[in-house]
Amino acid sequence: MSKIIVLIGAPGAGKGTQARLLEEKRGIPQISTGDMFREMKKADTPLAREVQETMAAGNLISDDLTYKIVKERTARADCQNDYILDGYPRTAVQAAQLEDLASEQNKTIQAIEIDVPRAELLKRLTGRRSCSVCGEIYNIYSKPPKQDNVCDFHPETTLTHRADDNEESVGTRLANYDEQTKPLLEYYEKSGRLEKIDGTRELQQIYADLDKLI
C-alpha cells in the first residue's frame, strides 16, 4: 500500500527544504500547500487577492479551499504512489479531511515531526531567502547562496524574502502553529503514526534520518 508522508513542523523548521530533497533524491513528489497558494495569489482575481491578504498577515486559508487544492493536486498521475505533504494538514478539520482522502486513495498516512526550538526558528525565518524561479530555499546564516543574494541556479535572479517572513506575521504564524497544528502531533502519536526528527542538525543529517524512516 502506498503512503502519504505528512511533514509537520513550525514555520522555519525545514519542511520545505527536506521535502524538496526527498523529491530530488527519491522522486517522491512534494506537495506544498504554501507553494500552491503563493502561485495562486499571482492571479488577478478576488480570490487571489483574498489569498494574498490572508497569507501576508500570517493567517491560515480556509480548510475547504485548502482541501480542494490538495485533492485536485493529488489526483494527478504523479501522486499515484507515495507523495509528501509539506504544510498540510494544519488544523484538526484538515486532518479529518485527509483521513477521507487517504481512504479514497487507498493510502496510509505516515506523519513525521521536524522539531526545532523557538529561538532557532526566529533566526531561520528572518534569514530565509528563496529563488522566485526554481523555489530553491537559502538562509543568509546557515545556507547562503554561492554569490550574495542571487540563486546558484539562476544567477540572473535576485533572491526574495517572503512577504510573510516579517516579525509580525511570523508571530501570528507561530501562534497559529501552537494553537492549531501542534495538537495534530498528539493525534498522530495516539494512532501510532508519528515519528520525530531532531531538526536542529545539519541539513544532510536530517535528510539521512528522514530517508531511513520513509
Q: Which residues bind ligand AMP (CB under 6 A)?
A: 11, 33-34, 37, 54-55, 58-61, 66, 87-88, 90, 94, 164, 173
Burial of 212 (0-12, 13-18, 19+ CB in 10 A): exposed
Indicate if 124 belongs to the active site: no
Please state, in angstroms and as integers, the Cα–Cα distance from residue 211 to each residue in 9, 10, 83, 162, following that order: 17, 20, 14, 28
Indicate if 41 belongs to the active site: no
**Nearest distance from residue 85's CB to ligand AMP, in Å?**
8
Indicate if 129 belongs to the active site: no
Q: Which residue is nearest to ligand AMP (CB)?
A: 34
Nearer to ligand AMP, 37 or 207 (CB): 37
Nearer to ligand AMP, 54 or 149 (CB): 54
73, 90, 107, 124: the catalytic one is: 90
Nearer to ligand AMP, 125 or 151 (CB): 125
Indicate if 162 belongs to the active site: yes
**Distance from the first to the final alpha carbon of the chain:** 13
Indicate if 128 belongs to the active site: yes
As given in the structure block, the three cell numbers for residue 92 are 484538526
Nearer to ligand AMP, 69 or 214 (CB): 69
**Nearest distance from residue 59's CB to ligand AMP, in Å?**
6
Active-site amino acid positions: 15, 90, 128, 162, 173
